[in-house]
Amino acid sequence: MHDTLSYLPQIVPAYIAYLIAVISPGPAIMAIVSTSMTHGRRAGMTISLGIFAGSFTWACAAALGLATILQTYAIALEILKVFGGIYLLYLAYKAFKAVRSNGDLPQTIEQKTTLSTRALLLRGYGIHVTNPKAIFAWLAIIALGMPQGAPPSVAALIIGVCMATGFTVFMGYALLFSTPHALKVYRSIRRWIEGTMAAFYCFAGLKLLTSRI
């Protein structure tokens, strides 16, 4: 446990990167928001579970793949760091563009309809597991927080903390946006959130690109 905690200086930036990613508007969050607003709280929480499962799938794939790479090819880890850094800088660019735009969030809460639990779970899972950006995001997060030579417990800690946070955030969005006044509040702070995202993604991307292997 002590060996794992010694990697906290690398783990904390990775966790912050995940936290900013998970609260920012994207296909998954937009699905939770729109479902909660149009079909109600239960539907929003159900699709959140599907999205959570998709996120966990990519997290495990990224961690297991990177663990294998760490044990064999150091040059492959360096390549991953480069691609991960470039991807984080791309996210910074997208966040900066979002600050300047009005967004496309739903305007009103529509009448609730009935959707099956299975359909909502599969929809949520499909949205996340078919998004190629999700695996690149997880690769960047794992590479940022897990230097070469780190034990597997470091990856487990990153995934465990991030997934607990993701579950809380996904469910929080479902609960929040099933209320009538939520959208107005979100619109008022959206630019501030996305401006912070742009700054941190830029920092994290540069950190990953300049870190020593």
**Per-residue pLDDT tens over the stretch 17-73:** 888 888 877 778 878 887 887 778 899 999 999 999 999 998 888 888 765 665 565
Q: What is the mean pLDDT of the chain?
A: 77
Residue 101 amino acid letter? S
3-state secondary structure of 45: helix
Q: What is the pLDDT of residues 96-130, one digit of tens each?
A: 876 776 555 555 444 444 668 888 998 889 877 77
Q: Which two tokens stand for residue 180?
A: 């009538």
Return the higher-pLDDT residue of 81 and 31. Answer: 31
Other CB atoms closer than 10 Å to residue 181's CB: what's the count?
9
User: Does the reported pTM lie above 0.75?
Assistant: no
Return the higher-pLDDT residue of 79 and 163. Answer: 163
Whether 107 contacts 124, CB under 8 Å:
no
Backbone angles phi, psi at 45, to 5 degrees: -70, -35
CA atoms 195, 136, 145, 202: torsion sign: negative
